[in-house]
Each structure stands twice: as structure tokens, then as C-alpha cells.
Chain A
Amino acid sequence: MNHIQADILVIGGGATGLGIAWDAALRGLRVVLVEKHDLATGTTGRFHGLLHSGGRYAVKDPQSAVECIAENRILRRTHSHCIEDTGGFFVVTPEDEGEYPDAFRAACAKAGIPCDEIPVAEALRREPRLNPRISRVFEVPDGGADSFLAAHATAQAATQAGARILVYHEVLRLLVEAGGSGTRVTGARVRDVARGEELEVHAALTVNAAGAWAGRVAATAGLEVNVIPGKGIMLATSQRIVHTVINRCRMPGDGDIIVPAHTVAVVGTTDRHVSDPDELTIEPWEVSLLMAEGAKLVPSLDRARIVRAWAGVRPLYQQRQCDATRDATRAFALLDHASCDDLPGLLTIIGGKWTTFRLMAEKVVDRACEQLGVTKPCRTAETPVPGAEQGRYWLGHRLHEVEEQALQGQLVCECELVTRAMLEHAALANPTHSLDDLRRDLRLGMGPCQGAFCTYRAVGMLHEMAMRASAAPGDGGAWDVATMSSPAQTPRPAAGAAPAAMRQGANPLLRGFLEERWRGLWPILWGAQLRQERLNQVLYQCLMNADHLPDDGQGGAGCSI
């Protein structure tokens, strides 16, 4: 069996885990990160994409608010291309009168969050679809965050600094060994999902950053870490109904935020405890609730086309008596199992919000360095990740590049303007094992048609790549993310290894994506989106007969090697 040595083993490829890997690598530590799926498939890939100004926490959790505004500014420098300067409004709807708005304004001032009250008429001029019956509007520096791009960029930054990022590597159990000074966690037994092989990673320190699954990971070492998965669902409209983040000016609750994210707007969210973070269903009443609440902000929401629904799960930590509170704010908990459970070698980090991932990582790595006897300072706040030099994200940038370079004939996903070069590049340069992985990288299939055309095209193109390939499918590269989102800058890769995604064969790849898209569609299928899916049926059943393809053998099918 393979063994890998490291100073730090990070479990979990969400924002926090990647932030830790990046920070630790920059400080010269040997880092290995394992993630059971693709990057950002947990909470990080399933939230509404808000870069907090801190306004939402100004009243409820002022310390959190202060951290948010500080990190907001930092991320705009380090992850510029992942951030959109949308601005944010806190609006007072007829149901929200009362003292909160003034308390809100005062709290923002106290926390150092820029907050200006603007005339309602101006807000309506800038956002014509806002509820005309709002009475007050406050403007704050909320932003939009592309957590997928950020995850990839951070992963690339970590890799460039010497870290190893292993996706599709699932932790089977933590390794606990008895030694001279007692038992300690010495790493983890891990399964390489793609190859079906097991290996071990040995590390002086293991960081459990598995989010909603942190409890399960800890349990493999007999530890009790009580993580309650808090499910929240979100809806995406098929076009931006607003270009500014819109928050209800009240204590945070269900359905009180709409976030513009790329070409859609995200309406969120709900909050219900569930037992299993892998079993997330979208209930009709949740959809209705979001539609009703969202309509209080944007009344025409009930006529808007909803293109997708998804569920994310927040890891809510249930504190125990003995937990050290030194590094816990109410926002996140850093558990040192040496003190709490008499089991050194393991730190668990739970909670937090995306906006503060870098800060959380800094605190974890500070603690890790303490334990490892390393005295390097954190440099992540001053270190831009690959791609940041492209500058701030703006909505029109893909269209602009396609127009400038006349790339219309190269489009694979027309809705989201993904070119063939982008697809081929990501397929070879990033570890992608399915069309869904490519979707996260490129936004393939995330537009109104939800994969009607690009599913077929992508599979055909990947199959062609496999036929041209000179080597069997590898694991994909180490991310080349800087130009991942750029139609104009992505180079057309030369033939090389077959894309990892083709390991499963073209037919399962195609059907898998169609089914994956369906999961987030049928809960919100009405109106135009329902007609779209009916058309998609005509294409994939009547025309393609994709449900009557010849049976596939296991692995290797579709590759010429």
C-alpha cells in the first residue's frame, strides 16, 4: 500500500480546508489535502455566493461583523477575479418596520461597516424590480463570491506552494497509534475512489475540516464531535432579477436574501436540522416559502423563471462542556482534541462563513504551527492567488471576450459561454471525473437550458479527446485555473492523456449528467423551465434515444488505449 508523509494532513476540500492548505504551504509546511469528491461540493459549493459586508451580523454578532468587513476587503485583493462588486442593499419592507433599521445602522457604524442610507427612489431606479413599497434602503459593500473559482484558485496557489491536493480521495478512518507519550492521531487511511485503491497519509498533525461531515471523520477515532447538519435550500432565477445583493433589514431569517451570482440570482435560504448531510431533499413547502419570501423583496419573482433548486448543509456545532473557547467565536469552533479528548495530533474546525475562510484558516494554522514548533507568520492576506491579476469579475466579461475574439462558433455551452478550448483545457488540466466536475469548473450546463445542448456536445468532445489521446486517462493535472473562466485566454490543449472523465465511458457520462441536472430541476419545474425540460426530453429521448444505448462495460470504454 502507498504511504504519503506530510507535516499536516487536511481533511476536506471546501474553502476552509483549502485555505488551511494554502496558508500552511506558504509557511513552508508539507501539506496533503484529501477530499472525497470534487472541490467545493460541500457547503462551500452550495451557499448563495455572498461576500459579506458584515451587515447581516452587525446587530446579532458584532464580532463576526467586524471580521467580515475586514476579510471582505482582503479577499477583494487576494481573490479579485472571484469577487464581484455588486454592492448590497438592506431594505425595510412593510413587514420590517420597527427599531431594527436604526439599530442596524448604528451597529454597522460601530463595526466599521460602511453603511449609507439612500433614497428609496434611487434604489428603485438602480433596481427597478425591487418592491416599490419598501420604506428605507441602506447601502453596504456586500459583494458576490464565486466559491468554485476561489476554491480552484486557492488549490492552485497551495499546489504552487508545494501542497498536494488529492480529490476523489475519501477518508476511511483516522489512524490512531499508541506511542511513547500516549495515543495520538497519526494520519488517515484513504481510498482513491477513481482507482479503487487504498493508501495511508501519515502526518504530524491532522486537521479535520470536513464541515458537515466532521463528526463522521472524528467518529472514526472514537471521538464525539456533535455536528448538526442545518439544511438550507436555495433557488436560482434564470436571469439576474437584481444586480445588487438585496437583504431584508431585520434579524436574519428564512428567505431574506437575493444574491446576484454570475448570470442568475440566488434566492435563499431556509434552515432545518437534518440527520444525514448526504440525504438532502428539497421539500415543496421550502420552495413555496422562498418564492413567497423572495417576492417581498422582488414582487415579480412569482413570474420569474426558476432554473434550479439545491440544498446545502451548514455544519452547526453543538458545544460540549469542556471545549476550549479560546479560539471559538460564535461563528466557528476550533477543537484541539489534545486538551478536550486527550488525543493529540488532531484539530477539528467547524462552522464559519465563506467570507471568513481565510481568517479561520489563519487561526487554525497558527495553532498548528504552535504545536509543530514552527514560527512562520501568515502571509495569505498579502498573497494574491492565481488569476487575481485579471481583476474584478464583471457580468459581461465572458460575452466581451467571445465578442472580441469572435469565438461564437466555438461555444459548447451557449447559455454560459463556455468554449471548446475551455472544456478541453479543464478536462485535462483539472482533476475532473464527471461532467458535474466540469460544470463546477466552467459553469457548463448552469444556464436556462440546463444542459440541453452542452451535455451532448461535451460528451462528444471528451470522447474525441479520448480517441486522440496518446495515454490512458490520468488523474488530471494540478489545476491551471487562472484562465479557467476566460474564453479568450484559454489555450487549446494539445493531445495528451485521455480526460479522466472518460474513465466511466461516454454513455454513463452523458446519462449521469442528465440525471444530476434533473435532481435540481424537478422540485422547481413549472412554466418555461417545465417546457425546457420537455424539450430536453424530446432531444435526449425521441432524438438521441439516450435511454436505449448499448450497455457499457466497466471502465476503459470509450478510450482508444
Chain B
Amino acid sequence: MFDLTVIGAGLAGMLAACNAAKAGLKVKVIAQGLGALHWSAGTVDVLGYDPATGTPVSHPLQAIEALSAAQPAHPYALAGTQALAAALDEFQALAAEAGLPYAGAATAGENLWLPSPLGAARPALLAPKAQLAGALAGAPLLIVGLQGMRDFFPELIAENLRRAGHQARAASLPLELVTTRRDSNNVHLALALDDPARHAALGDALAALLQPGERIGLPAIVGLKEHAAALAELRARLGVPVFEVPTLPPSVPGLRLNAALRGHLQRLGVRLELNAEVTGLHAAGGRLTAVETATSSTRPRRHEAHSFLLATGGLLGRGIDSDHAGRVWETALNLPLAALPERTAWFRPGFLDPAGHPLFRSGVAVDRHFQPVDEAGAPVYANLWAAGGILAHADPVQERSLEGIAIATGIAAAREIVATRRPDEEVTS
């Protein structure tokens, strides 16, 4: 029998699985499909804007201290900044081990400000190596796109960067340099750039555009499987910093990170089953004994485990769903939801309202051990934990903390679970 079954294969679920497996637990991950990493910029956003005031945050961990005092039920408050810092370290170690190192700003603990696909400055605490050289304060930027690539607009990026006071200009190269396909998405372009001949040709073409003192920004398509080599090759060939700017999904930086984590799961012997939507559960004596997923036969598949971790991602991941009558529910285990506003107060009239939309703060409430609790504050099941976007009392979009919350709570929950499975053993990080 498995020690732990994780429900959800996003960032929180996969990190929790890695942590538990490394501690010697037998772990299985089941999920409907793949997670929000595939839509993200590929950075680790810990806290970008203060949720109460909307002011930009320059030192997330410091800001989180204050946030925790003001919002004691916030997932960051439950985890604590020490645990958050340790979790981020653990994430960085895993990423580096997989050949995809992440780092932060030169001044430790400061947010990086990186160019977005619109040329706005977006805050992130950690970025993959490929994006670091794009941190905005610094050398003049040459943003280069591919003509006909419909998810990247260098002129628009450069114009907005200039408006914000940065020196930036744009250029375009023919798409044929990268591919002769008539129809490609970002993944196809990245696969094309796995080919050394292609990224050599790209390097030569970029060299012709370069002016002294500039650094070059490219859409995030510099290789998928051979990303590290392709990036290194370009940098060597050009002799200047080369960085990636993320684009609309499919997010190649997100795919790289997803692949890195899946590689870890495989090496750690974690079983991953996709296309597995939880359709039922078994419980006895206040414990979850099994969850069920549908199969091709009418017999559902039973997944038994000593412990369960719910990491289904909230509304975004379909861990929470709703219907026209205004009912909102947690989809896997029918856990009670907290912070659910009246239906008339779900949304604000402006899509981009800085205060965010109240509905998105609702989710599963957990205690300090990351166990889902009922209204009385008692754990719903003795062997159930929850992490990531499913948690209540935070809107990770509004405050720009999507990856931070996933990492902090995924690992915190895993540690709790490991401690219950191996109470006599020293749990090392």
C-alpha cells in the first residue's frame, strides 16, 4: 500500500511527492491532467503586490511577515516565513539537480523585475537562468522576435519598456531561420531550436543585429530538451547576455520545469497516473481509506493509501467547480469551502480591479498542519492534507504568489505527512 497518494500533478503536488519520496515514503500521484505550470511565465512568483494596498513588493519575505500578521489565515501565515524560505531552497535544489537552475536577484531576497510579453515589468523572486539576464535595470535591451510568430511582439514590448524609462529597441528575424513549418506553436519552435544547426544560425543572425552594450531578449523558445546547451551556445556565440521573455501558452519555461519535476518523480520511483479524476471516496473511522477514479470499465479504480494530499489547484485546476445555481463545491472529496462570499459579491465590475474578485479567495481552510478543517476547526479526515491553489484565504493571482504558495504549502504539507509516517525518524531537508 502507498504511504501517500497525492491528488493533483501541479507544482504543489509534484513538489510534495518529491519531498515525501525523498524521505523514503512510497508515493503515488493521481491527476485529471497537467497543471498550471504550462500557462505560467516559468518564474517563481512569491509576492508581487500587497493584497491590501496593491503596492509593489520589493522584499517578498519581509512583506510576508507583515502580511501574516494582518492575515493570520493566509497560507503563508500558516506555513511561516522560515518554512517558506526552506521550501524555496528545496525547490532550487531540485531544479538545479535537474539541470534547470533557478536564481534570484543580485541582492538576496529582492524581487526581480522582468519584462512581460507586453513589456510591463513583472515581479518574480526566482527565475530560471534563461530569464535572469532580462532583469530590467541594466544594459540596453534589444528585443528580437520572429516575423509571423503570433505570440510575441517585440515592438510593443520595446515601446512599453521605453515608456517605463528603459533603453530598449526591437528587431525581427525571419521565421524560416527557426522553422519551415507553416504552423507552429511555441513548443514546436523550441523543439526546432534543439537542433544545434538552427541555434547556430540564429546566433549568427542575432550577431548581425547587435549593437555594442546591448543584451538580447528572445521569446522563450530557446530549446526544449537541449535548452541548456542552446542557451549556452547562443551566449557564447554572441558574447552578451541573452535572455528569454515568456509568451502566451504553451509556456516553454513551464514545460521545462514540469519535465524536470516529472524526471525527479520518475527517478524517485513515484508512480504518476494521469487521466484519473476522483469520482468517489471511501472513509472509515474519520480516516480516508481510498479514493476512486473512473476507468474504461464500470469498475472504478481504487487508490488506497495511508495518507492523502489534496493539491487540485482551486478553480483554476478544477479542484473547485460551480454551477448556474450558484453552488460551489470542492470536486474531489466534497470538503467544506471557506471564505465563500454571497453570490452577488463574487465579482467586481472591473476585470483588472486591483482589489481582485472576492470569489477567488475561497477554498479549503486548513490548520497549521495543513489539514483541511471543518467549521469547528477540527480536521475533516485524520489522514488528509491540502496544499496549493485549493487553499482558502489567498488570491494568488491578485497578489502574484501562485508559485510561492504552491511551493511553500506543498512542501510544508509533505513534511507534516512524512512526520506522521515516520515520527521516530529525523526528517532532514
Q: Which residues of A contact B (CB under 8 A)?
A: 284, 287-288, 291, 302, 306, 406, 408-409, 411-412, 420, 453, 456-457, 459-461, 463-464, 467, 506-507, 510-511, 514-515, 517-519, 522, 525-527, 530-531, 534-535, 537-552, 558
Shortest distance in angstroms between A383's beta carbon and chain B's nearest beta carbon?
39
Indicate if the CB atoms of B156 and A463 lie closer than 8 Å: yes
Shortest distance in angstroms between A462's beta carbon and chain B's nearest beta carbon?
10
User: What interface size band does chain B fall in?
Assistant: 35 or more
Indicate if the CB atoms of B248 and A538 lie closer than 8 Å: no
B282 at the interface (CB under 8 A from A): no
Indicate if the CB atoms of A545 and B120 lie closer than 8 Å: yes
B199 at the interface (CB under 8 A from A): no
The residue of chain A having its C-beta at the shortest distance from the C-beta of B348 within the complex is A522
- Residue-wise interface mask of B (160-187) relative to A, using a CB-CB cutoff of 8 A (1 in contact, 0 not): 1001100000000000000001111000
The residue of chain A having its C-beta at the shortest distance from the C-beta of B249 within the complex is A539
B61 at the interface (CB under 8 A from A): no
> Cβ of A287: which chain B residues have Cβ within 8 Å of it?
324
B315 at the interface (CB under 8 A from A): yes
Indicate if the CB atoms of A527 and B160 lie closer than 8 Å: no
Chain B residues 47-63 with CB under 8 Å of chain A are 56
Closest A-B pairs by Cβ, 7 of them: A460-B153, A409-B183, A518-B351, A550-B163, A545-B120, A547-B352, A545-B122
Indicate if the CB atoms of B402 and A542 lie closer than 8 Å: yes
Q: Among B56, B118, B159, B184, which residue has its beta carbon within 8 angstroms of that of A546?
A: B118
> Cβ of B150: which chain A residues have Cβ within 8 Å of it?
411-412, 420, 457, 460-461
Shortest distance in angstroms between A469's beta carbon and chain B's nearest beta carbon?
12
> Cβ of B159: which chain A residues have Cβ within 8 Å of it?
463, 506, 558
Q: Among A288, A408, A456, which residue has its beta carbon within 8 angstroms of that of B118?
A: A456
Indicate if the CB atoms of A535 and B316 lie closer than 8 Å: yes
Contact of A525 with B121 at beta-carbon distance under 8 Å, contacts A539-B249, A543-B41 already known: no
B383 at the interface (CB under 8 A from A): no
Indicate if the CB atoms of B39 and A535 lie closer than 8 Å: yes
Shortest distance in angstroms between A548's beta carbon and chain B's nearest beta carbon?
5
Q: Which residues of B contact A (CB under 8 A)?
A: 36, 39-41, 45, 56, 116-122, 148, 150-153, 155-156, 159-160, 163-164, 181-184, 246, 248-249, 315-316, 318, 321-326, 343-344, 346-347, 349-352, 354, 360, 397-398, 400, 402
Judged by DSSP, the binding face of B is loop
CA distance A463 to B170 in the complex (A): 13
> Cβ of A544: which chain B residues have Cβ within 8 Å of it?
116-118, 120, 122
Indicate if the CB atoms of A456 and B248 lie closer than 8 Å: yes
> Cβ of B41: which chain A residues have Cβ within 8 Å of it?
542-543
Shortest distance in angstroms between A235's beta carbon and chain B's nearest beta carbon?
10
Shortest distance in angstroms between A367's beta carbon and chain B's nearest beta carbon?
44
CA distance A558 to B316 in the complex (A): 34
Contact of A542 with B40 at beta-carbon distance under 8 Å, contacts A457-B150, A537-B397 already known: yes
Indicate if the CB atoms of A507 and B160 lie closer than 8 Å: yes
> Cβ of A463: which chain B residues have Cβ within 8 Å of it?
153, 155-156, 159
Shortest distance in angstroms between B388's beta carbon and chain A's nearest beta carbon?
14
Contact of A409 with B182 at beta-carbon distance under 8 Å, contacts A457-B151, A539-B39, A550-B160 already known: yes
> Cβ of B45: which chain A residues have Cβ within 8 Å of it?
542
What are 7 pairs between A and B in contact, CB < 8 Å? A284-B343, A302-B323, A409-B184, A456-B117, A511-B352, A543-B122, A552-B163
